[in-house]
């Protein structure tokens, strides 16, 4: 049984995410903690993208552990605890076939699809629980103390703290790679468009369409 938390921060066009995988123990020798700046356009990056990257970090770590230790079959669970309900629902229900080609225009489809692909390859069952965020603030407002809190809330708050530290120390990276499960993406000024596609290209004289193999398949001029 693996328990995993992630949380994020976005401010002034900069986003960061943090994540942890833990056993049932709070022993610091029985956990993995990571954080990173979230790739995205500073003009449009939002909490949804950073939340997706937090979940992606968890899924990727789980995949690495399975490969490293040759884990091919298990009846265990990978338990996600995330305070973003949209990400919880997206990961729980996946990408529905009836979306058709419109799925490629969904906000942050690229990292959503990549995470789903990894989860489907894991030899365990993924479970998802929504956590109410910032429970320490609510407790302080009522009792002038910030803890102790239940374990499920404690690590959510801890990931929020680590993500905030990462954001203040890091530099916002642009999204320049078309992820493999995206299959195809619109690129403006060498940056992959991950949300508000119609709005993003409406005022641009030219945009490019790339495959996940970084192959230019089409170039469109809006002023034709």
Mean pLDDT within 100-105: 78
Most confident of 31-35, 45-49, 92-96: 31-35
CA atoms 137, 138, 144, 150: torsion sign? negative
Mean pLDDT within 46-64: 96
* HSE-CB for 181 with a 13 A CA cutoff: 15
pLDDT of 142-183, one tens digit each? 999 999 999 999 999 999 999 999 999 999 999 888 888 887
Calculate the average pLDDT of the chain.
89
> Percent of the chain, pLDDT > 90?
67
From residue 199, give the alpha-carbon distance in Å to each of 170, 195, 202, 203, 210: 28, 9, 5, 8, 19
Q: Where are the alpha helices (DSSP H) in the chain?
A: 47-68, 85-93, 109-121, 135-143, 151-169, 197-202
How would residue 224 be classed by pLDDT, with cut points 50, 70 and 90?
very low
Angle at 53 between CA 150 and CA 49, to 5 degrees: 105
Cα 22 to chain center, whole Å? 18
Q: Spell out the domain ranges in the chain.
A: 2-169, 180-221
Q: Output the pLDDT for position 218.
A: 60
How would residue 139 be classed by pLDDT, with cut points 50, 70 and 90?
very high
How would residue 221 be classed by pLDDT, with cut points 50, 70 and 90?
low
Mean pLDDT within 71-94: 93
pTM score? 0.89
Give 2-169's CATH code, choosing from 3.30.420.10, 3.40.710.10, 1.10.287.70, 3.40.50.720.
3.30.420.10
């Amino acid at each position: 049984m693996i328990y995993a938390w992630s949380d994020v921060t976005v401010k002034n066009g900069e986003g960061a995410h943090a994540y942890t995988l833990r056993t049932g123990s709070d022993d610091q020798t029985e956990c993995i903690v990571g954080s990173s700046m979230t790739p995205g356009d500073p003009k449009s990056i939002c909490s949804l993208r950073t939340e997706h990257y937090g979940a992606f970090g968890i899924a990727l770590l789980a995949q690495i552990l399975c490969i490293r230790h040759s884990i091919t079959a298990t009846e265990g669970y990978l338990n996600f605890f995330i305070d973003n309900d949209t990400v919880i629902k997206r990961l729980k229900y996946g990408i529905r076939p009836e979306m058709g080609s419109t799925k490629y225009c969904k906000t942050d489809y690229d990292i959503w699809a990549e995470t789903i692909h990894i989860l489907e390859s894991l030899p365990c069952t993924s479970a998802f629980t929504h956590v109410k965020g910032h429970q320490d603030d609510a407790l302080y407002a009522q009792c002038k103390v910030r803890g102790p809190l239940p374990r499920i809330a404690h690590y959510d708050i801890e990931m929020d703290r680590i993500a905030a530290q990462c954001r203040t120390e890091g530099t916002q990276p642009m999204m320049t790679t078309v992820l493999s499960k995206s299959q195809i993406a619109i690129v403006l000024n060498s940056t992959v468009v991950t949300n508000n596609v119609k709005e993003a290209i409406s005022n641009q004289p030219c945009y490019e369409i790339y495959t996940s193999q970084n192959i230019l398949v089409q170039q469109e001029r809006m002023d034709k």
